[in-house]
Amino acid sequence: MEANGYVAALDIGTSEIKLVVGELLGGTLNILAEGCAPSAGVKRGAVVDIDKTVQAIKQAVEHAEAALGDQIRSVYVAIEGEHIQIAPCHGIASVKREDQEITDTDVIEVINSAQVMRLPDEMSVIDVIPSSFTVDQQTGVVDPRGMLGYRLEMHGKMVTGSKTILHSIRRSIERAGLKLEGFVLGNLALGMSAASVDEIDLGIGLVDIGHEKTTVSVFYRGDLVYSYILPVGGDHMTRDLVYKLNCKYQDAKVAKEEYGLALEEMADASEGFSFTNINGEVTFEPQSEISYVLEARIEEMFTLVLNRVQKVGVPTLSGGYLLCGGAAALPGIQELATRVMGQKTRLYQPSSIGVRHPKYATAVGVLKYVLMSDHHVSKSRLEKPDDRVAVANPDGTSQTGNVQDHDDDVVRDDRETKNGFGRLMEKLFGV
């Protein structure tokens, strides 16, 4: 946190790097500045070119500093991706004070005790997130500080990630002239800030549609119980249009962003996109054809999301689904999601001026999580995430299955996707 009380949150995405600066005023989040820059050195949450990533971070920081009128010195960073694992953990500590009153020191000690385990050499602890505490025989304690007891226990989740990927992110931030305050689990922070307490308790699905991947998270009974990385995102929609229109990638991107709809039935018969195809011919593509291609891909994606969520074991998601991420800004996507998944769906975008777009959802979520949570990463006093050791279950699972799961084979099940992607294949290739 900066000396003047504001916090900066950084979301390092594949297509864009977003930076949001804010503060708390009377319990309400106040966004002070934002910055955004094209990203060229990141792929599916991992830095693949440090130099390009550093330049993009610097550009986003410059934009935010121009609006803020002050220098940004440190950031919290949203972390997510296929390398992230979440496993249950348990810590025990004795209360130190003679009068047996539990203080911040005891809470920090019990959190640290949950990490005295072993991890594979390539993995590192990112954070420990307490779910509940036990004071002597009293279970289900939310905040034990101020209570009296002799023995303090903590039940929670341990977030671990690849040392290599974490080091590359940290190195990029440091070379950009910033101090890394800590990593924050992006989908956890986003869910806690975007959904209501009742939705998280009764069950809600969060679908974050990024450039190359879609992160599906399930919250139930007040906790994140499942997260899944689907290797499909906005880039796949654009590439579908590249093949359909026989055009350059940039032209397909313009067609998607300016004329694309998630539902073909919403298309205007008089609207369309004029462009020069690969053969040098000037071509006109109706909005209905562009939207037909997009609808097929998005329908496939939501079908796969539904199939994964149904396997989680949560009886029902009474809160429905929340959509966010840059690719979720496509008109009609909320209606298509409701149709495919059979439950109410709403599009989430931050309400503050300057960040009213689904692409800022994760950065704003991290910002809000850090400012309003008593258990964010800085509270654990764990300043070197890549130097800590811990252990996850041998199969990397949590109480409800693999919390951070991915499967490259899920994208092509004919029985699941015939109505979506199958229609697209028939349209493009006649198969």
- Block mean pLDDT (10 aa), the chain, length 431: 76 94 86 93 89 96 94 94 88 93 94 87 89 93 93 93 94 96 92 92 95 94 90 95 96 96 94 94 95 97 95 90 94 96 93 86 92 51 36 35 44 41 46 46
Q: CA gyration radius for the chain? A: 23
The DSSP H or E segment spanning 294 is: helix 287-310
Residue 403's pLDDT is 52
DSSP letter at 264 equals G
CA proximity to 196, closest of 88, 363, 320, 20: 320
Which class is 7-82+164-194+353-385 in CATH? alpha beta
Residue 127's pLDDT is 86
Residue 4's pLDDT is 60
Residue 25's pLDDT is 83
Output the average pLDDT for the chain. 85
Q: Residue 289: CB partners within 8 Å, gap ≥ 6?
A: 244
User: Three-class SS of residue 9?
Assistant: strand
DSSP letters of 168-222? Answer: HHHHHHHHTT-EEEEEEEHHHHHHHHHS-HHHHHH-EEEEEE-SS-EEEEEEETT
Residue 40's pLDDT is 86
Instruction: Give dist(CA 338, CA 116) in Å, integer.
Output: 45
Digit-coded pLDDT (tens) for 35-75:
999 998 998 778 999 999 999 999 999 999 999 999 999 99
Domain ranges of the chain: 7-82+164-194+353-385, 85-160
What are residue 75's DSSP bridge partners?
Answer: 180
85-160 has which fold? Dna Ligase; domain 1 (3.30.1490)
Instruction: Give dist(CA 318, CA 341) in Å, integer.
Output: 13
